[in-house]
Structure 1
Amino acid sequence: MTDITAKDQTLDPENWDQMRQLGHQMIDDLFDYWQSIRDQKIWKPIPGEVKDFLDQPIPEKGQDPEQVYRDFKQYVFPYNKGNVHPRFFAWIQGTGTPMGVLADLLASGMNPNTTIGEHSAMYVDRQVVNWCKELMNFPLEASGILVSGGSMANITALTVARNSFKEEKIRTKGLKAASAQLVLYCSVETHSCIQKAAEIIGLGTDAVRKIGVNERYEMNGDELESCIQEDLEAGLFPFAVVGTSGTVNTGAIDPMEELLAISRKYGLWFHVDGAYGALAKLDSKYSDRLKAIEEADSLAFDLHKWLYVPYEVGCTLIRDAKKHREAFAITPNYLLQESRGLSGGLDSVNNYGFELSRGFKALKIWMSLKEHGRMKYAEMIAQNNRQAEYLGSLVENSPELELTAPVSMSITCFRMVKPDLSESQLRDLNREILLRLQEEGIASPSSTILQGKYTLRVANVNQRTRMEDMDLLVREVLRIGREIGE
């Protein structure tokens, strides 16, 4: 029998004041970290004893909270990835902001499931989606959903595109009932998540046509149209074109107006993968080249990149709200909506995506946009782009360096060159430069291979970067490269 006299247990602290003091210490430590980040090494290798500590089995009994935090400070905090540092340029990863971090703390403290019900988080979520439409100049009657990032944003959009294709009724009957194979088109430079999305939604890799690019790594429109015509003649169903507004490799922007025109000509869904570059629309230098985004059937973009909010949050916008809802909506008995009470309120977000459990990710965007405003973000994005151009000019003015791709938006690709070295030796040289930059805690570019050339790739979506960081980076690349050659 259950002992009804036993004391009920809880996970709340026994000593609230002690936990409050610990929380204050955590906040203070974070602010100290951010304030001094420029003077710290960007990255350091993880010692073996730390990895061993982080490979221990689950504790049977709990530890004192202060000891748990001491373990964090000793074994976790010092070995951060470094993307809060002003010289983090690897992949395309944002830095976050103090307000964004505090917003995540508040969101976790409220702990709502922001999918269903009559509560404030639902209205903040809706407002943030509407603000995303405003940022992209999408029609206000369009639909949208916040997701974890670009990969989920892209697969959400392509699911809507697939399910709403002609009169095939794919959602109910499945792809096997389609009267022909559906085919999707993107460039060879398109992010790998597009191929993954095609595989997950049942098209298969063979249904993804990867179109060639020009010398600026932009999709070839003539080749795209020829491929569509060939597939039509073969009895296949072209259904979607994916244009990229800033490839992750070089920042290349596909010819948006041309892709939009081709999509309209053949009645195809025009989707824009803007995970990285859509927000460059706020930079006047790129606004015209990205204007076709406003006419896209769907758009995917990240907010943890060029809105600098902490991980993770992205957005999918769908022009036709009815098609968006019809692609996902379902109402089981346990999710009945009422006209009032907790089960009242806005339409369930679950009707616009796969997830039924969603954190309050909108709050950090809401608070950040209120703190800084659209204009400040436009200035920050333009600043990153000008910094990339400045780095490009430093490379062009150094006889020991060369650009390996045109500078586009905030990505600069370059390498060190020596006339007496073979291509294989240049690869080894630049790989060693990259590794020493990281291991010495100086800066963190990443790498890629362009036209067979091993390349240092600087992708700058960093709100802490200054022009002087570009000067330092070039100096250190030259220093390390010269040392290797001695």
Structure 2
Amino acid sequence: MSKATLDPVNWSEFRSAAHKMLDAALDKMESAGEGRVWTPLPDGMKAALQSDLPITGISAEELCRKLEDLLPYGVGNTHPRFFGWVHGAGNPGGILAEITGAAMNANLGGRDHGAIYVEKQVLEWCRQMMGFPEDSSGLIVSGTSMATIIALKAARDQRLGFECRKKGVGRFVLVGYASAQAHSCLGRAFDLLGIGSDSLRKIPCDANFRMDLGALKKAIEKDRAQGKTPFVVIGTAGSVNVGAIDDLETLSDIAALENLWLHVDGAFGATAILSSEIRDRLAGIERADSLAFDFHKWLHVNYDAGCVLVRSGEVHLKTFSGRPEYLLEAGQGLAAGNPWPVDYGPELSRGFRALKIWTHFLEHGTDKLAQAIEENCLQASYLKKKIQDSSTLELLAPVTLNIVCFRHDSENGKNVDELNKEIVITLQEKGIAAPSTTILNGKLAIRVNITNHRTELRDLDLLVEEVEKIGSTLISNKSCKVG
């Protein structure tokens, strides 16, 4: 009986199949602006993906064919007319990093090896980029959801003196505050940390969808009067609905006055700090006690890649450190390099996410990344003007950064929401474009997020043309049916 091995029996055949797969992947990236935006997975392929557990393996060539077959059926965010949610467009250079990372197969939970130093370099770049002090700390994570959990645990543990790591929150009724436009991951973090999602106070917003700071002060005062323990206020740097940025400077002042931890959710907006034209709108972000943001959104690193920064490296370390005897630190050898990343977060098994971030910054530099961000904001302003010039479209929110919310308003009355919902579904199913929807002030909006370095003005021209055309057709068809 031959020895079991997972290495190729024939390396030459494997190498040939891998080269073909690489070409197919690069072809996919090179032609990202062509064809449909979103293509649903065919029923036959769905059925094939419900097969029994494989007992015997297949050849590398057959495996690569299966992988190549999947390439057309992503969510569509590499296409320049993918406008839904806040997905980055990816970049071809990411393929090189993923190949290298797969070959190294490094675990970045700890120990002293090259991959750890790459992550440390990336975190130092992030610290400089965001203006955090030299004794701050950070961690590369899957995204802002995980970054938020880490940051809010540090905030919780600092407020309760770190005893809660063993004893729980006890008699304390912790409460925190965020804009009503803040991301849903904040409530989930409160839930996972044992604080309870109801303990996150959703503060009303002003006409520009920024947190009402007067309402915030009243909420803090009310909670203190009721014996509750306010511990954190969360500012938003680029709300997911409209791209609004809270007044971070004043929030910093309030947090200092009220002895609250200031966390900033900068999932996509924080990286706009690279732009000299936008940076001033993010003033105060450098004063935060913690900051969460993503690389896979407006910086176009391939999924997934996020970051948490914590102003006090000492607090961050106290929040997570404590290893069992089989992971004891050492001054030299492979177990050196303390503290390890596992001392700053919940995961011991961690992939080499930092590699694709490192290569992305090296390949493009911050000037080009900033330029791509600025172009998206200019495109959003262009789209805003086209909507304002249209006789059938209505702008539903201020355009702060790169998100434009509007609707087709040719029809008055209760059916307008349904009309715009149908327009969006039609755009998606025809493969023309992929915006999303949201609700603003009780109205369903077509939400266009421009987070794509491949988007051009002609893509926005086509979007407006098709929204008007589809809307007109739907109204006409409805009128015929009524008649």
How many angstroms does 1:168 deviate by? Answer: 6.4
Which residue of structure 1 lines up, in the alignment, with residue 181 of structure 2?
A: 189
Helix, strand or coil at the partner of 1:210: strand
Which residue of structure 2 lines up, in the alignment, with residue 305 of structure 1?
A: 297
Task: Give the structure-2-normalised TM-score.
Answer: 0.96
**1: CA distance, partners of 2:294 / 2:313:** 20
1:28-47 maps to which residues of 2 (within 5 A)? Answer: 28-47=23-42
51, 55, 77: which one aligns with 1:60:
55
Which residue of structure 2 lines up, in the alignment, with residue 437 of structure 1?
A: 427
Give the partner amino acid of 1:295: R
Deviates more, 1:279-288 or 1:182-191: 279-288
Which residue of structure 1 lines up, in the alignment, with residue 479 of structure 2?
A: none
Identity of aligned pairs, percent? 44
**1: CA distance, partners of 2:161 / 2:474:** 63
**2: CA distance, partners of 1:186 / 1:277:** 16
How many angstroms does 1:166 deviate by? Answer: 5.2
Helix, strand or coil at the partner of 1:114: coil
Helix, strand or coil at the partner of 1:448: strand
Q: Deviations for 1:360-384, whole angstroms, at most 9, x for unmatched residues?
A: 1101111110111111111111111
The runs of 5 or more residues in structure 2 that have no matched partner are 477-483
Matched, 1:448 2:438: yes
How many angstroms does 1:279 deviate by? Answer: 0.9
Give the partner amino acid of 1:390: Y
Matched, 1:421 2:407: no
Matched, 1:472 2:462: yes
Contact 1:182 1:207 in 2 (8 A): yes
1:341-356 maps to which residues of 2 (within 5 A)? Answer: 341-356=333-348
Q: Deviations for 1:240-290, whole angstroms, at most 9, x for unmatched residues?
A: 000100110111111111211111111100000001211122223331221
Contact 1:129 1:145 in 2 (8 A): yes
214, 222, 227: which one aligns with 2:219:
227
Matched, 1:118 2:108: no
**2: CA distance, partners of 1:132 / 1:468:** 34
Which residue of structure 2 lines up, in the alignment, with residue 279 of structure 1?
A: 271
How many angstroms does 1:87 deviate by? Answer: 0.9
241, 257, 262: which one aligns with 1:249:
241
**1: CA distance, partners of 2:278 / 2:257:** 25
Which residue of structure 1 lines up, in the alignment, with residue 191 of structure 2?
A: 199
84, 94, 101: which one aligns with 1:90:
84
How many angstroms does 1:421 deviate by? Answer: 3.0
Give the partner amino acid of 2:424: L
**1: CA distance, partners of 2:131 / 2:168:** 34
301, 304, 324: which one aligns with 1:332:
324
Which residue of structure 1 lines up, in the alignment, with residue 16 of structure 2?
A: 21
**1: CA distance, partners of 2:393 / 2:275:** 28
1:121-160 maps to which residues of 2 (within 5 A)? Answer: 121-160=115-154
Give the partner amino acid of 1:188: A
Contact 1:281 1:291 in 2 (8 A): no
Moved over 4 A (4+): none
Which residue of structure 2 lines up, in the alignment, with residue 80 of structure 1?
A: 74
Which residue of structure 2 lines up, in the alignment, with residue 3 of structure 1?
A: none
352, 359, 362: which one aligns with 1:360:
352
How many angstroms does 1:116 deviate by? Answer: 1.1
1:93-108 maps to which residues of 2 (within 5 A)? Answer: 93-108=87-102
165, 187, 194: which one aligns with 2:159:
165
Contact 2:87 2:296 in 1 (8 A): yes
Contact 1:122 1:346 in 2 (8 A): no
431, 439, 447: which one aligns with 1:457:
447
**1: CA distance, partners of 2:221 / 2:412:** 46
How many angstroms does 1:304 deviate by? Answer: 0.5
1:389-400 maps to which residues of 2 (within 5 A)? Answer: 389-400=381-392
Give the partner amino acid of 2:74: N
**2: CA distance, partners of 1:255 / 1:42:** 36
234, 237, 241: which one aligns with 2:229:
237
**1: CA distance, partners of 2:347 / 2:282:** 30
Give the partner amino acid of 1:484: L
Deviates more, 1:384-393 or 1:220-229: 384-393
**2: CA distance, partners of 1:168 / 1:13:** 50
Give the partner amino acid of 1:50: M
How many angstroms does 1:346 deviate by? Answer: 3.9
Matched, 1:263 2:246: no
The alignment's C-alpha RMSD in Å is 1.3
Give the partner amino acid of 1:104: E
Q: Deviations for 1:328-380, whole angstroms, at most 9, x for unmatched residues?
A: 00121111122211112242100000000001110111111011111111111
348, 360, 363: which one aligns with 1:371:
363
The total of aligned residue pairs comes to 476
How many angstroms does 1:440 deviate by? Answer: 1.0
Give the partner amino acid of 2:87: Q
Give the partner amino acid of 1:131: W
Contact 1:280 1:409 in 2 (8 A): no
**1: CA distance, partners of 2:220 / 2:101:** 46
Give the partner amino acid of 1:466: E
Helix, strand or coil at the partner of 2:150: helix
**2: CA distance, partners of 1:474 / 1:102:** 37
Helix, strand or coil at the partner of 2:233: strand
Q: Deviations for 1:66-87, whole angstroms, at most 9, x for unmatched residues?
A: 122223333x222211111111
